[in-house]
Amino acid sequence: MRIAVTGKQGQVVSALIEVGPKLGVEVFPIGRPELDLLSPKTVLHALANIRPNIIVNAAAYTAVDQAEKEPELAMAVNANGAMAVADAARTLGVPLVHLSTDYVFDGSKSTPYTEEDPVAPANVYGASKLAGEQAVTAAIRDHVIVRTAWVYSPYGKNFVRTMLTLAQNRDEIRVVADQYGCPTYAHDIAVGIVGIGRNLLDRPQSEQLRGIFHLACAGETTWAGFASAIFESSRLLGKRVPKVTPITSAEYPTPAHRPANSRLGCSKLERVHNITLPAWRTSLMACLERLTNEFKLL
């Protein structure tokens, strides 16, 4: 399987590059300047040169707070760019796996969101990603839209790395405790994407395999609970760690509104694609073991 993945440095791109060869998959990352989602005319030519049999659109504008100030840019990348990738995939006759987000929901539901729940983004980023989903759905039949949440990894900018950075010189860290979600390891997402891709290639006529799916690690927590688990695991690795003080969202205002509930129900993915991600605490420990030498926590 040859996967062309948009972007060169994102967390999921990096994870695919790492795990792909272990799964017998060739992964070809492609991004700017060869492929630029702000320049749709570059997309088809760049992807055609790779001759993939699966395309993964992992490139996106992901600066959630900055998007409130740059809505046109967020929409250009996440919606218009997604449309260009979907158009290219249709032209090339190749299935498309498109990454989306839990932020297409407003968080008002009290239980995990399913794929059938109404969407209602509460911020510009979520609205731009929803527009991307709609563009993909309209452009190509042979697609899977994968919504995931709270992504972290050993590389890039993410919550785990932020907490470990803060822990190097703080005795106490205040973290929001009234937002719930599913921390998801980028490596698990990559493995899931490969599994989805294989299913799409093996059963090209199966409509059931296409559409929207939720892909997140099992279990749930709050950001404060996530931080506490990071430091509990760090302690097991022999590190002294700071105290986590839970606070409310009101005590930590941000330009973009975050959903109170970002939990994703993933039973459809298990039922249709036979894919289940590990428990989030298990994957967190695997990530921290890789990071323990980089972050010298006292």
Look at strands 143-148 and 151-152 and give their pairing.
unpaired
pLDDT mean over 138-164 = 96
- The separation between CA 209 and the C-alpha centre of its own chain, rounded to angstroms, equals 20
pTM, rounded to two decimals: 0.95
The CA-based angle 10-147-4, given to 5 degrees, is: 45
CA distances from 169 to 95, 164, 242, 285, 297 (A): 47, 10, 9, 22, 8
Q: Which two tokens stand for residue 43?
A: 């997309």
Evaluate if residue 295 carries a pLDDT over 60.
yes
Report the pLDDT value the prediction gives residue 125, as an integer from 0 to 100: 98
Mean pLDDT rounded to a whole number for the chain: 95
% of the chain surpassing 70 pLDDT: 98
Residues tagged active-site: 125
**Which range has the worst mean pLDDT, 22-31, 103-112, 239-248, 263-272?**
239-248
Phi/psi of residue 247, nearest 5 degrees: -135, 170
Evaluate if residue 147 carries a pLDDT over 90.
yes
> What separation, in Å, do the N-terminal and C-terminal C-alpha atoms of the chain show?
44
Is the backbone of residue 76 left (phi > 0), alpha (psi -120 to 50) or beta? alpha
pLDDT band at 274 (very low <50, low <70, confident <90, very high): very high
Give the domains, in start order, of the chain with CATH numbers: 2-153+183-217 (3.40.50.720)
Report the pLDDT value the prediction gives residue 241, as an integer from 0 to 100: 85
Report the pLDDT value the prediction gives residue 298, as an integer from 0 to 100: 41
- The separation between CA 264 and the C-alpha centre of its own chain, rounded to angstroms, equals 12
Report the pLDDT value the prediction gives residue 296, as an integer from 0 to 100: 60
DSSP one-letter string for 7-30: BSSSHHHHHHHHHTGGGT-EEEEE
Evaluate if residue 292 carries a pLDDT over 80.
no
pLDDT mean over 105-126 = 97
For 15-64, what is each residue's pLDDT tens digit?
Answer: 999 999 999 999 999 999 999 999 999 999 999 999 999 999 999 999 99
